[in-house]
Chains A and B, each alone.
Chain A
Amino acid sequence: MRRWLLLLIMAIPSAAEAQFNDHDGQLTIVWVSPSYGNPLDHYIWSYKINGVADSVTGQSAAGDTLNSSAILADVGDWAIFDIRAVSIFHDTSAVALSDTAYYNPEQSIGPPRGVNWIQGP
């Protein structure tokens, strides 16, 4: 039973972090379709890049839950994605906002190499 509960808890998506570091500037975002409401017809979405609203806009079919239409050109650029659902009756949902994504290439450094003991004074 505990295993079932653990699996159930693991299956519940956790809250997103407030900031996302994207390593290559090629943004990809996924979402889950609305959990209630009239039948979904399509999505309307847009990106705000570096504070400029509607930098990239578009629509997605009801079956699409992934978008990668935006690219951050320079390190330090940032983007926020917003999306609304539109029903077959043309109801438009409230907006859902993403966390902020930053173009922040991962920089790592290896450990020192060639360490040898030497005779001290």
Chain B
Amino acid sequence: MDIIRNMWVGICRPESISRLSLSLIIAALSSSPSFAEDGRVYPDTASVSFTRAVIADTVTLTIQNLASDSLFHVFVSDHTDSQPVFLLCLIDGSLVDSLSSDQEFGSVFPGKFTTRWIIGNFERYAMLRYYCGSYRGNPVNISGGHPFPIFGIIPGIGSPEYLLWQQ
């Protein structure tokens, strides 16, 4: 019991907390990227919003219908290094335990799993969350009808950053 108490006291010392904080900051900076980004929707329409957020290799895609017409026959494709694990799907506020999906290996990108989830029809929004093992930048795309055909894509690579002019 004393050993545990002494260990706890040691951890709680200010210098230990400082070291722990620094370790956590370094770990956070060096771990898998976390970010959110908007997709480009074609035709150029403001009635559909398409966003991807990635935290700890877990991807959350949100498709939002900003118009009064329903979105229908919507499906999502992603291309991942390993087989993704479906976590949950929310459609217009209702939780969906599973989605129809199919999967092919190497059909689009060599060495990558292409997975398609059928979201179907919805009025306001659909949110799909899955774990992709090791996130490496995957071009995600959506297709559907609104009632005209729509196509959305998020590129598989981030933009260059911190552009700075120099004298």
Contact = CB atoms under 8 A, between A and B. Distances in A.
Contact of B161 (A8, A31, A43, A91): A31
B133 interface: no
Given A36-B33, A93-B155, A93-B159, A29 B166 contact: yes
A7 B25 CA distance: 13
B163 A93 contact: no
B42 interface: no
B21 to A, nearest CB: 8
Interface string A49-69: 000000000000000010000
A16 interface: yes
Nearest to B17: A1
A13 B25 contact: no
A47 B15 CA distance: 51
Contacts of A37: 136-137, 155-158
A29 B164 CA distance: 6
A98 B159 CA distance: 12
Interface residues of B, number: 29
A87 B157 CA distance: 6
Given A1-B22, A4-B22, A35 B161 contact: yes
Contacts of A13: 162, 164
Nearest to B14: A1
A98 B163 contact: yes
B108 to A, nearest CB: 9
B148 interface: no
Contacts of B166: 28-30
B69 interface: no
B167 interface: yes
Interface in A15-31: 16, 20, 22-24, 27-31
B117 interface: no
A16 B164 contact: yes
Nearest to A36: B33
Given A4-B22, A91-B137, A91-B139, A35 B163 contact: no
A89 interface: yes
Contact of B158 (A1, A30, A34): A34
Interface in B109-167: 109, 135-139, 155-167
10 contacts: A29-B165, A30-B163, A33-B160, A33-B161, A35-B33, A38-B136, A38-B156, A38-B157, A65-B160, A84-B160
Interface of A: 1, 4, 8, 13, 16, 20, 22-24, 27-38, 40, 43, 65, 81, 83-87, 89, 91-99, 101
